[in-house]
Homo-oligomer: A and B are copies of this chain.
Amino acid sequence: MQGNNHDDVRRHNLSIILRLVHRGGAASRAQLTRLTGLNRSTIGALVAELVERGLVEERTPDPTKLAGRPSPIVAASDRIVAIAVNPEIDAITVGAVALSGVVHRLIRYATPSSPSIAEAVTITAGIVAKLKRDLGEYSIIGIGVAVPGLVRASDGLVRHAPHLGWVDEPLCDLLAAATGIPVVAANDASLGVTAERYFGSGQGLTDLVYLNGGSSGIGGGLVIGGVAAGGQAGYAGEFGHTRVSDGIDTDSAGIAGTLEAEVTRHALLAALGLQAGETDADTLERALLASDSLIVRNLVNRQLDFLAIALASAVNMLNPQLIVLGGFLAALHAVDPERLNVAVAALTLPAAFAEVSIAPAVLGSNLLMIGAAELAFEALLVDPQQDRGNTTGLPLLGFRAADTAAPTFSTSQGHPLS
Q: Does A222 contact B (CB under 8 A)?
A: yes
A interface list, Cβ under 8 A from B: 1-6, 8-9, 12-13, 16, 19-20, 35-38, 42, 150, 152, 159-160, 206-207, 222, 224-225, 227-246, 253, 255, 309, 312-314, 316-321, 346-349, 351-352, 355-356
Q: Given A3-B42, A225-B227, A233-B319, are A243 and B13 also a contact pair (CB < 8 Å)?
A: no
CB-based contact A347/B9 at 8 Å: no
CB-based contact A6/B9 at 8 Å: yes
Q: Given A3-B38, A4-B13, A243-B243, are A232 and B317 also a contact pair (CB < 8 Å)?
A: no
Q: Given A225-B230, A231-B319, A233-B351, are A245 and B244 also a contact pair (CB < 8 Å)?
A: no
* A309 proximity list for chain B (CB < 8 A): 243
CB-based contact B36/A222 at 8 Å: no
Query: Measured between C-beta atoms, what is the minimum distance from A223 to chain B in Å?
Result: 10
CB-based contact B235/A36 at 8 Å: no
Known contacts A3-B16, A222-B318, A245-B246, then 9 further A-B pairs from the complex at CB < 8 Å, ordered by chain A residue: A2-B36, A3-B38, A9-B9, A150-B349, A232-B355, A236-B319, A239-B316, A253-B349, A313-B313
CB-based contact A352/B3 at 8 Å: no
A8 to B20, CA, bound (A): 20
* A348 proximity list for chain B (CB < 8 A): 241, 255
16 A/B residue pairs, CB under 8 Å, sorted by A: A150-B352, A207-B232, A224-B224, A225-B225, A225-B227, A229-B229, A231-B319, A231-B320, A232-B321, A241-B347, A241-B348, A242-B313, A242-B317, A243-B244, A255-B348, A314-B317
Query: Measured between C-beta atoms, what is the minimum distance from A93 to chain B in Å?
Result: 25
Q: Given A36-B1, A313-B242, are A224 and B235 also a contact pair (CB < 8 Å)?
A: no
Q: Could you say which of B12, B206, B240 contacts A4, with CB atoms under 8 Å apart?
A: B12
Q: Could you say which of B1, B319, B356 contacts A20, with CB atoms under 8 Å apart?
A: B1
Residue of B nearest to A209 (CB): B317
* A5 proximity list for chain B (CB < 8 A): 9, 38
* A239 proximity list for chain B (CB < 8 A): 316-317
A356 to B236, CA, bound (A): 12
CB-based contact A16/B1 at 8 Å: yes
* A316 proximity list for chain B (CB < 8 A): 238-242
Interface hub of A1, A19, A207, A240 (most chain B Cβ within 10 A): A1
A349 to B253, CA, bound (A): 7
CB-based contact B351/A37 at 8 Å: no
